[in-house]
Structure 1
Amino acid sequence: MTRSQLYPLEVNPTTGEPFFRLPAPNENIIITPPRLSDELCFAPIINHPNVSVWLEGPPIPYLDEYALPWLNFIKGRTDAVLAELREEEERNPEGPLKIVGDCPVRHLREVLEDGSDIYIGDLGINRAQLEEVLDKEERAKQVEENNAKEIGDPTIRWTFGDYLAPSHHRRGIMSAAMKLVLEKWAVPRMGVRFMTGYTFAGNRASARVFEKSGFVFKRTLDSGKVVRGELKLLDYLEWTYPESEL
């Protein structure tokens, strides 16, 4: 039987939105594409001290006005992948599952008893910035080379970026979400074979999320990184596709 190009994603029969559902005991958590209605959901989570202290990129305090440009960017990425897959299915309905360059779902949501859902976090997969290469010029060169590699190239170095609402911490949600995206999409649908993981030193909870998906701690990096006026060390982890499955 021919499989949809969205496989192994499920599709909401009412809205047509693709999604992943986490396994028990977190089956009320789904991962969907970004929605424009998420615009006002970011700031309350990002500004929480239990989240902001571990984030590098967004400005803190995070204002609602910052959300729409970011939302348009990531939604553009997921929309493009979905359009590519739907076009492939229409053009070549009997063809093999296409390898793509991104995951079309990334926003975590809790489904409530009435069927509605609330935004609780983000899990994105990106080409790595190679923080483990300490020389800045060499890193820039290698990042450029990594970004130039064609989709499906097994030598591309990838990484995850994520955060979760503090109200949902310590429930195994992000660990389950990362493992699900890695095993069900990144490996079979993106051809991912090597991933890096970066956390601020001391963020043991984030390191454990990576480790539960098979990442292995390699070393702590001192690259002179300064975040909001504070020198930050990075714990560096790696994941490699098991040779036994090649």
Structure 2
Amino acid sequence: MPVYFNPLTKEPYLRLPAPCSHIIITMDRPHDIEETSKEMTEILNDPLVYPWLEGPPYPFLPEHAVDWINMQCKENEAIRTKLQQEYEQSKNQTQSNDSSDQDGPPKFFDVCAFRCIREVTEYDLKTGAALKDVFIGSISITRYAFYELEYGSSAREEAQARNNEIPAGNKDIVWGLGNYLSPKYHGQGIMTLAVRTLIRDWAIPRMNLHILKASYLVGNTGSSKVMRH
């Protein structure tokens, strides 16, 4: 099952393969806003990170982080509930040895709910579940913004509008990739594996992703390596 669940908290998450199996990708957490916003603010004000990003304001303030996390939590609430329902149903079917799929194939979502890259720092000895982790970066797949077209041009606006009108699950949607990582974790192959994991375990099976575009600023050697791999 591509989406894992913490047996102690029931939180859904994605897990990177070895040698980065201590890295997970989670949704934003309503109960963890203060700590995550602190870590996010530190990363997005780092001179090795913010010059390569177009979206976040600089300086990036704690209130920016809190507002962003709250917005993401609200946006992902329905998906979190749906995944937890699927998890409980799967457990019940396993216990009853029922292999039938009563609800049919999984529905396609229009949102990449898994966004927060975290390093697990402590595990439960009995279950192996993550007890503590730290936010180290972000990854997202959203409707593509057509950066190759002139900013503010009618051509760019029309391309975005056409793409945004395509219904969820349609293979013709053009998706765009965005990401950043704490400099403390650069050069370890984490983002390369995070991109692969997100595409394989979520974007393809749950968003029906067929077309993905990514762009980066000239000179961003880290992102260029991720895109090549």
**TM-score of the superposed pair, with normalisation by structure 1:** 0.78
Match of 1:165, as an amino acid?
S
Match of 2:19 in 1: 25
Deviation at 1:39, TM superposition (A): 2.2
Please say which of residues 31-40 and 168-177 is displaced more in the overlay.
31-40
Match of 1:122 in 2: 138
Match of 1:102 in 2: 111
For residue 83 of structure 1, the aligned residue among 81, 84, 95 is 81
Question: Within 1, Cα distance between the matches of 2:113 and 2:102?
Answer: 20
Question: Within 1, Cα distance between the matches of 2:112 and 2:84?
Answer: 14
Match of 1:112 in 2: 121
For residue 61 of structure 1, the aligned residue among 59, 62, 72 is 59
Aligned residues of 1:88 and 1:98 also touching (Cα < 8 A): no
1:161-200 aligned at under 5 Å gives the runs 161-200=178-217
Structure 2 residue ranges without an equivalent (≥5): 90-100, 124-130
Relative to structure 1, the CA distance from residue 18 to residue 84 in structure 2 (aligned partners, 3 Å threshold; closer, same or farther) is closer
Give aligned pairs, total: 205
Deviation at 1:56, TM superposition (A): 1.2
Deviation at 1:81, TM superposition (A): 2.0
Question: 1:98-143 CA distances to partner (integer Å, 9 max, x unpaired)?
Answer: 2111222110111114541111011111000111223710110110
Question: Within 2, Cα distance between the matches of 1:116 and 1:87?
Answer: 24
Ranges of 4+ aligned residues in structure 1 off by more than 4 Å: 84-90
Aligned residues of 1:107 and 1:123 also touching (Cα < 8 A): yes
Pairing 1:14–2:37 present: no
Relative to structure 1, the CA distance from residue 86 to residue 112 in structure 2 (aligned partners, 3 Å threshold; closer, same or farther) is closer
Question: 1:71-100 CA distances to partner (integer Å, 9 max, x unpaired)?
Answer: 11222222232234456787x844212211
Deviation at 1:184, TM superposition (A): 1.7
Question: Within 1, Cα distance between the matches of 2:206 and 2:140?
Answer: 15
Question: Within 1, Cα distance between the matches of 2:113 and 2:192?
Answer: 19
Question: Within 1, Cα distance between the matches of 2:79 and 2:26?
Answer: 13
Aligned residues of 1:8 and 1:184 also touching (Cα < 8 A): yes
Structure 1 residue ranges without an equivalent (≥5): 1-6, 213-246
Q: Which has the higher helix share?
A: 2
Match of 1:8, as an amino acid?
P
Match of 2:29 in 1: 35
Match of 2:225 in 1: 208
Aligned residues of 1:81 and 1:103 also touching (Cα < 8 A): no
Percent of aligned positions that are identical = 36
Give the SS at the match of 1:60: coil
Question: Within 2, Cα distance between the matches of 1:95 and 1:87?
Answer: 14
Pairing 1:134–2:132 present: no
Question: Within 2, Cα distance between the matches of 1:101 and 1:54?
Answer: 26
Please say which of residues 105-114 and 120-129 is displaced more in the overlay.
105-114
